[in-house]
């Protein structure tokens, strides 16, 4: 026993992932494709991919957490944008270390067993500032996304760096699991200049050693940038191997945060209109490929907060109807955008989004699985279990008994396996309809179901199979959906309370033991027909009949969702009970599993070896069952209350010294340029003030204008501030006021004009100083290929001719990166960093009843004691999360251990709670919190209550090392 325990311990310590995709390093692999699907070493594969942005989760160990959650919920691939601006603070300067270590990301994906779709742009859109372009690119003369030489040289510079990394991780040469590579993103202009650009990108990435198939993502279905193999009239050819398109047809939420009506699912393949604009039909000789298909949607400043609603609107019913319709249409490469949205931390957000990029995705921003993730699991497992789905032709039209229902009908030309997808007609109907349909296979012709009732109730579709060899059995048909076959068990499921009927074929009558549940078995000819209701878990053991023994597990959806199909080193296992199963390892005497529990749960395993079972490294006493499983005799424990502390001990200091007339700005840059490539030029004769022209591309920027003479009674300041950006101004140290760009619009204005009336007392002849702070909430994206990212940020012009200006902004943090820092005095002096000596600051009470105009800093520390082996996702909440916005005219930047984790805008909203990633947050030690409050001043405009929030706890998780977070001493001296 001791020997066994040691052996088990050794086994359990091996690796972090399931069977890696690239099992044999350096072994070469072939990637091919035809009209049906990709082939990997000749094996057809449906690619079921989720979008994940590592730059939206600044804690590399948590990348493993998300990737394992994706793998566990049935995805076989991850699609990754690489954000150029995230890595490059200046021309020629690139950082791929720490939270920017893309080698690490690609290693983890391969180890977890996920294929990778690499999407490095150069332009990505993605609701990232500048659409992923670095700030410095906005000063270029040449048009971006064209063949302008300066732009191409810059794009090549980025591609050289990122391709070097991606090329090391290609499936083709055994280095990793990258199977596809996207050039550009939604390049909707198709002129000669763009044709040259696409050809240039293709040749560049090939020269960089990228040898996997290359594609472009067509914004919508325009038939642009299709491979040479397509001769469909109206398409635009490009130098690509595959054609891909995107679409977000799922319907949305009302502004009050309630779900709108569902849309009907489009036919973008086999059942569609065809032609250049029909989706997959634009390229008949390559697989149907949705490079992005809606897995949620983003949300904007001033909304009422739609993410929870979006997760419902694009929840289980939507996934079944839309993704199922896509499968029926032969879209064998589907990528769901987003699967984990994460956080646009720091100055990453484009003007169209706020900090949270939760997206209503399957995995929420706090890394918790939403119910829709479990529906993805049902569908993903089906795809893994039935590879015949990769090769589907349209089959004979099927007319169901009800006109309220339509049934897609496909067949695999090689095996004869048939796919029936019943959904409402039209598919946005949500009525409760019963129906039968005719089903014909070489085993016979049937009206299905033969007994009981088949129904569609609400937004729903079903993926039903017929004529399928599975787990040593031959399935004639089933009105239950197949979820998994592993360890001698087959799991089928259906909506709770609905009938199910499964027909299996045998040479002789098998023995049928109903071990649990209410199941009727009927034997006729060679067919065993089982009729039952999906209700909890029925277990049927079938032996004899000329086939191997099998346990059928017949579950309602919720019960099916407690099962996990996990790749072990000797094939897949089926595990019931825990809230997540991450890895499985078997050996002759035992089985080692890792995963998460969110409450006490059962543990039951099909496909286990021997009698030894371990969970997260601890032996679990277990006994074999009549169902062919191994079952733990006691429940696995759940997490404990992490007891998050109250935030106390605040200290405060005023943070806008630049407003004072006597402030020394002599070290600031002189803003006296006369030419700019920005699209927002100053009036003739006035100096260029836009911040990018002086090297300041993120966050806040300060100006001080020195003026001699009488000040007019009105001052107008034109500025660029991105979404909900703002400006504050002082004349000779006296606060003039603030201007906030309008919000509550999906596409908000990003420039504006602040007009202030100057009090008579300040206007007199003499030297004056106009101090101005502009908050830049992101550069525009360039979705229209019109250089929109070059719109100026900071001041554009001021109606005070003859002023000489100086400018000061943020400097890139050497570790936290170019998007962490803005130009507040406190940021420039390291007030946000751990270890900053704030002992001279005044003690403060939070909530604060009032505030001074300008910026005021608050600091405190707090200690966390999350138990080892527990993953608690911690959030920071400001104000009342029950209301999208409070009335307070203030905003707050939130720094945790020096990392800028988001912006709260009290009177704009809607976000109150900010996810703090473990790793940046020390769950077992001291953390430093600094909040920079920028207020209009006065009562009610001060910092509201600030609390820590438990966003989800699980016993389990992944080991998380602390992200390097240099403190004040180091940052200023090292
Ligand atoms: C797509 C685009 C993505 C992202 C998405 C919306 O059209 O390719 O980058 O912007 O829309 O979230």
Mean pLDDT, rounded, for 802-824: 96
CA distance 140 to 142: 6
> Whose C-alpha lies nearest to ligand 1, atom 7?
219
The residue whose C-alpha atom lies closest to atom 3 belonging to ligand 1 is 126
In ligand 1, the atom with minimum distance to the C-alpha of 126 is 9
- CA 879 to each of CA 256, 304, 913, 952: distance values in angstroms, whole numbers, following the listed order: 20, 15, 9, 20
Pick the closest to residue 17 from 57, 67, 58 (CA basis).
Answer: 67
- Which tokens in the block code for residue 474? 């031959």
The pairing of strands 580-587 and 590-596 is antiparallel
Confidence of residue 570 (pLDDT cuts 50, 70, 90): confident
Confidence of residue 24 (pLDDT cuts 50, 70, 90): very low
Judged against a pLDDT cut of 80, whether residue 196 lies above it is answered with yes
Residue 767 has pLDDT above 60, yes or no: yes
Name the pLDDT band for 23 (thresholds 50, 70, 90): very low
For residue 501, the CA-to-ligand 1 centroid distance in Å is 41
Average pLDDT of the chain to the nearest whole number? 96
Apex 819 CA angle, 816 and 821, nearest 5: 75
**Token representation of residue 427:** 């598919």
Report the separation in Å between the CA atom of 293 and the middle of ligand 1, taken as the mean of its atom positions: 10
Residue 832 has pLDDT above 80, yes or no: yes
- Per-residue pLDDT averaged across 528-546, rounded? 98
**How much of the chain is helix, strand and coil, in % rounded to 5?**
15, 35, 50
Residue nearest to atom 11 of ligand 1 (CA): 126
For 609-653, how does the pLDDT look when each residue is reduced to its tens digit (9 = 90+)?
989 999 999 999 999 999 999 999 999 999 999 999 999 999 999
Which ligand 1 atom is the nearest neighbour of the CA of 781?
A: 10
Residue 4 has pLDDT above 60, yes or no: no
CA-based nearest residue to 656, from 943, 846, 932: 932
Taking the centre of ligand 1 as the mean of its atom positions, its distance from the CA of residue 125, in whole angstroms, is: 6
Pairing of strands 38-40, 604-606: unpaired
**Dist. CA 524–CA 167, nearest whole Å:** 58
How confident is the model at residue 257, as a pLDDT?
86
Q: What is the pLDDT of residue 200?
A: 98
- Band the pLDDT of 596: cuts 50, 70, 90: very high
Tell me, yes or no, if the pTM score tops 0.95.
yes
pLDDT at 971: 53
Q: Which of 713, 702, 709, 681 is nearest to 797 (CA)?
A: 681
- Model confidence over 774-790: pLDDT tens digits? 999 999 999 999 999 99
- What is the CA(131)–ligand 1 centre distance, in A? 10
Q: What angle do CA 795, 796, 800 make, to 5 degrees?
A: 85
Report whether pLDDT(6) > 50: no
More reliable by pLDDT, 17 or 170:
170
Ligand 1: residue whose CA is nearest its atom 4: 126
CA of 899 to the centre of ligand 1 (A): 26
Please list, residue by residue across 72-109, b when 16 or more beta carbons sit within 10 angstroms of its beta carbon and e when fewer do.
bbbbbbbbbbbbbbbbbbeeeebbeebbbbbebbbbbb
Give me ligand 1 centre to Cα 127, in Å: 7
When computed from its CA atoms, the radius of gyration of the chain, rounded to whole angstroms, is 30
Q: Per-residue pLDDT averaged across 922-931, rounded?
A: 98
Ligand 1 pocket residues where CB is under 6 Å = 124-127, 185-186, 217, 219, 246, 292, 298
Closest-lying ligand 1 atom to the alpha carbon of residue 125: 9
Torsion sign (Cα): 182, 183, 185, 191: negative
Separation of CA 344 and ligand 1 centre (Å): 14
Nearest CA to ligand 1 atom 5: 126
**Which band of pLDDT confidence, cut at 50, 70 and 90, is reported for residue 26?**
low
> How much is the pLDDT for 973?
45
Spacing, Cα 126 to ligand 1 middle (Å): 5
The ligand 1 atom at the shortest distance from the C-alpha of residue 297 is 12
The model's pLDDT over 396-405, given as tens digits with 9 standing for 90+, comes to: 999 999 999 9
Please tell me the distance from the alpha carbon of residue 929 to that of residue 647, in angstroms, as a whole number: 9
Note whether 538 and 551 are within 8 A (CB): no
Which mutation among 127, 297, 783 tests ligand 1's pocket best, with the greatest number of atoms within 8 A of CB?
127
Phi, psi of 628 (to 5 degrees): 85, 15
CA 930 / ligand 1 centre spacing (Å) = 33
């Amino acid at each position: 026993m001791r020997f066994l325990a040691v052996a088990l311990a050794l086994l359990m310590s091996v690796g972090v992932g399931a069977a890696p995709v690239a099992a044999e390093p350096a072994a070469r692999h072939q990637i091919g494709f035809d009209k049906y699907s990709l082939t990997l070493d000749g094996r057809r594969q449906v690619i079921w991919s989720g979008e994940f942005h590592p730059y939206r989760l600044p804690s590399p160990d948590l990348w493993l957490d998300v990737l394992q959650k994706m793998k566990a919920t049935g995805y076989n691939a991850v699609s990754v944008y690489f954000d150029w601006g995230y890595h490059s603070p200046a021309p020629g300067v690139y950082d791929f270390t720490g939270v920017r270590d893309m080698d690490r990301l690609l290693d983890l994906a391969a180890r977890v067993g996920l294929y990778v779709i690499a999407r490095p742009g150069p332009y990505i859109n993605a609701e990232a500032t500048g659409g992923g372009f670095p700030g410095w690119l906005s000063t270029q003369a040449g048009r971006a996304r064209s063949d302008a030489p300066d732009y191409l040289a810059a794009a090549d510079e980025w591609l050289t760096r990122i391709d070097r990394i991606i090329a090391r991780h290609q499936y083709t040469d055994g280095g990793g699991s990258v199977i596809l590579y996207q050039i550009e993103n939604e390049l909707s202009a198709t002129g000669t200049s763009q044709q040259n650009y696409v050809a240039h990108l293709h040749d560049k990435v090939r020269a960089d050693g990228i040898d996997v198939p290359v594609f472009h993502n067509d914004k919508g279905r325009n038939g642009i940038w299709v491979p040479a193999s397509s001769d469909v009239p109206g398409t635009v050819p490009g130098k690509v191997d595959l054609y891909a398109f995107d679409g977000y047809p799922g319907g949305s939420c009302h502004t009050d945060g309630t779900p709108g009506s569902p849309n009907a699912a489009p036919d973008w393949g086999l059942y569609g209109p065809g032609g250049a604009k029909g989706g997959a039909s634009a390229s008949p000789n390559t697989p149907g490929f949705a490079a992005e298909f809606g897995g949620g949607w983003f949300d904007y400043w001033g909304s009422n907060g739609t993410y929870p609603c979006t997760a419902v609107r694009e929840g289980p019913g939507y996934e079944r109807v839309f993704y199922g319709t896509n499968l029926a249409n032969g879209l064998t490469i589907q990528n769901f955008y987003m699967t984990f949205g994460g956080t646009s931390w720091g100055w990453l957000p484009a003007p169209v989004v706020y900090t949270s990029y939760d997206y209503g995705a399957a995995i929420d921003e706090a890394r918790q699985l939403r119910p829709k993730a479990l529906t993805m699991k049902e569908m993903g497992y089906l795809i893994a279990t039935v590879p015949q789905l990769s090769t589907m032709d349209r089959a004979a039209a099927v007319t169901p008994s009800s006109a309220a229902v339509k049934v897609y009908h496909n067949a695999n030309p090689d095996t004869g396996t048939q796919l029936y997808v019943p959904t409402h007609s039209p598919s946005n109907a949500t009525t409760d309809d019963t129906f039968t349909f005719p089903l014909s296979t070489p085993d016979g012709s049937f009206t299905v179901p033969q007994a009981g009732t088949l129904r569609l109730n609400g937004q729903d579709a079903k993926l039903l199979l017929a004529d399928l060899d599975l787990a040593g059995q031959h399935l004639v048909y089933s009105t239950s959906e197949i979820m998994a076959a592993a360890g001698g068990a087959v799991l089928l499921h259906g909506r709770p309370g609905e009938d199910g009927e499964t027909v299996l074929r045998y040479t002789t009558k098998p023995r049928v033991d109903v071990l649990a549940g209410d199941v009727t078995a009927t034997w006729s000819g060679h067919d065993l027909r089982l009729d039952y209701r999906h209700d909890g878990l029925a277990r049927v053991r079938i032996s004899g009949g000329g086939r191997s023994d099998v346990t059928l597990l017949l579950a309602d959806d919720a019960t099916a969702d407690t099962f996990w199909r996990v790749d072990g080193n000797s094939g897949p296992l089926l595990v019931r009970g825990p809230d997540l199963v991450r890895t499985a390892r078997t050996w002759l005497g035992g089985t080692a599993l890792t995963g998460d529990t969110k409450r006490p749960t059962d543990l039951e395993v099909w496909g286990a070896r021997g009698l030894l079972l371990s969970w997260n490294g601890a032996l679990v006493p277990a006994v074999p069952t009549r169902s062919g499983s191994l079952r733990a005799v006691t429940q696995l424990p759940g997490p404990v209350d992490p007891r998050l502390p109250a935030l106390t001990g605040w200290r405060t200091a005023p943070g806008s010294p630049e407003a004072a007339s006597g402030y020394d700005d002599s070290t600031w840059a002189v803003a006296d340029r006369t030419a700019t490539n920005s699209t927002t030029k100053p009036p003739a004769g006035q100096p260029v003030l836009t911040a990018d022209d002086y090297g300041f591309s993120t966050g806040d920027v300060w100006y001080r204008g020195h003026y001699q003479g009488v000040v007019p009674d009105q001052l107008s300041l034109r500025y660029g501030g991105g979404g909900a950006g703002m400006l504050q101004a002082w004349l000779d140290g006296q606060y003039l006021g603030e201007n906030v760009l309008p919000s509550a619009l999906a596409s908000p204005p990003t420039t504006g004009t602040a007009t202030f009336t100057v009090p008579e007392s300040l206007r007199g002849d003499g030297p004056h100083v106009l101090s101005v702070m502009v908050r830049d909430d992101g550069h525009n994206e360039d979705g229209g290929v019109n250089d929109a990212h070059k719109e100026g940020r900071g001041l554009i012009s001021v109606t005070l001719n003859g002023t000489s200006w100086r400018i000061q902004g943020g400097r890139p943090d050497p570790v936290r990166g170019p998007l962490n820092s803005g130009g507040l005095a406190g940021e420039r002096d390291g007030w946000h960093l751990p270890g900053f000596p704030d002992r001279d600051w005044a003690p403060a009470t939070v909530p604060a009843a009032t505030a001074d105009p300008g910026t005021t800093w608050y600091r405190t520390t707090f200690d966390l004691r999350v138990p080892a082996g527990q993953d608690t996702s911690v959030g920071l909440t400001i104000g009342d999360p029950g209301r999208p916005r409070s009335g307070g005219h203030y905003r707050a930047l939130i720094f945790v251990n020096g990392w800028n984790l988001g912006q709260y805008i009290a009177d704009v909203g809607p976000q109150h709670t900010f996810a703090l990633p473990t790793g940046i947050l020390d769950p077992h030690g001291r953390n430093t919190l600094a909040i920079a409050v920028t207020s209009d001043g006065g009562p009610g405009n001060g910092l509201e209550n600030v609390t820590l929030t438990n966003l989800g706890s699980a016993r389990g998780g992944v080991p998380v090392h602390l992200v390097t977070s240099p403190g004040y001493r180091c940052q200023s001296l090292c």
